[in-house]
A and B are shown apart, each in its own frame.
Chain A
Amino acid sequence: MTSNMSAGIHEAASQIASSGPLPIDSEGLMSRCLGKISFALMLLEEFESSGKRNVEKIVEHVERNELLAAAEAAHALKGTAGIIGAEVLQRLAAEIEDAGRGGQSTIQLALVHGLRAEMGRCLDFIPAFRSTAKT
């Protein structure tokens, strides 16, 4: 039954992602959750609130040119995004962390806007994942 539900989720995910790569690797997420959809949904719920908060924190720190603080927030987001399977988000967060720790005088605003947009894609993906899981 779980595998049927997982297959449904992957199918829905593919449809959602028809315009580009998946914002969240649902197969990887389900694997980390040992196929337990209730646990995956609980993690995604946490991610919806903590991930969004972290992105806003990064944006604020970058706008104030607080590079180390931005790097620390990006480090936290990188870990969370990796576990959720949000690979592009994870990569962008890693780039911001590296830039913040690397002694650069600024972090490219384009990078931060990219991060925010990618978080938006992840958040848009979650309701579809959730509704497929519940059917």
Chain B
Amino acid sequence: MTSDSCLKLDSSFRDPCGFIFNRNAKLLRQINFVYQNNYDFFLKSGLCEKLQSIGYLVKHKEVDIKLAFDKKAYKIIEPEKIPFISYPYGWSFGQLKDAALLTLEMEILALKYGMTLKDATAYNVQFLDNKPIFIDTLSFEIYKEGQPWVAYKQFCQHFLAPLLLMSYKDIRLGQLLKIYLDGIPLDLASKLLPFKTKLNPKILANIHLHAGYQNRFSGVNKKIGAFKLSKISLLALIDNLKSTINGIKLNTKRTEWSDYYEKNNNYLSKALKKKLKLVESYVDEIKPKSVCDLGGNTGKFSRLASKKGILTISLDIDPLAVEYNYQYNKQHKEKNILPLILDLTNPNAGKGWNNTERQSFFERKHFSMCLCLALIHHLTISNNIPFCKTALFLSKVCDWLVIEFVPKSDSQVKKLLLNREDIFIDYTQKYFEAEFGHFFKVVKSSKINGSKRVLYLMKSKRK
């Protein structure tokens, strides 16, 4: 049955109940016979319909069994396509918190319908129009009276520990999820969290004591029978986790970028309006299918594209700026936009087994257009990345580029050079155009009135 156009996804191999594969450019999920009873119950109990109707679970349709990858197949389903797959280490605090709450809500509903979640990995959640959505249809199994929640440890590692570290220690600690793909080890979280968290009974229990028990039983060399846990006790545990997660708040001290528009006095409102208009005109002219706003800050320019129905990924290195972006989009019910944390000087690489389980960021999508606004001076001067390196990289990841050149006379560049030697003799508009000219064709350029900056529309020569 396997053919050349049929390929299993590298991220889908851990669960023997099924996997995701590509067949003739269609993304399909094979459900193996081993999962038959659970899948049938999932449908018959009405849980699947309920979760899909309230937007908690990705919709799917059953397709011809002839499309199966191999003979183990009981059913083949085609899930609704998620436009861009994101990973927890790209999410802001609010995104991770919403994903955690969704997972717990799913478990509560599953128990109500006689099922339970057999895993609670954050990778089972994606974002659609700023709402978390569960994507693993095979995560449900029939609940057996008395069984504990097998995913309790995983939930604490994937959600609770990083949220607490971001809240009580430093928002940047969410990036630990890049190293620990199966969630932050609880003993590490326990060591990193401040003492005051031990005075909070919920954190004391779910992190500190939990970590202690893990350590205590890690070297046990004899089989310990699992124990019975009543359904009401299980619901109480989930309720406890839910109120713990709900109680975690973000310390909203402003970071470098999160107040950029408010503090940046380079942009008189007239210049900002002109820039917005120019970027919008470039987007209207090209009509890209997808946009990636590199250094998108709180998403002001990203929304120019997303409001036109264009899939827009709004990236920023600052987790707080991304958090503001996400909360704004949520509050204003914005669609087609996904804010994510990304350090452009060190984009997320391939991770996990064989370095292919989790794809690198730019492997996941080639963008029709990239916005590179008020960014070039940070890359060139703050990070010493020559124009040619930036141009080469950008020409690989997009077809069209909207890029803003910020000259040395601009107060933001002056600020960057204030207390360091100016070694950037090539940082001129002329050299910028020459270096980018190797990889891009300049289609349009326009001065931004009210500032000293220039906005370019360029076309990649690779296209």
Q: Do A and B bind each other?
A: no
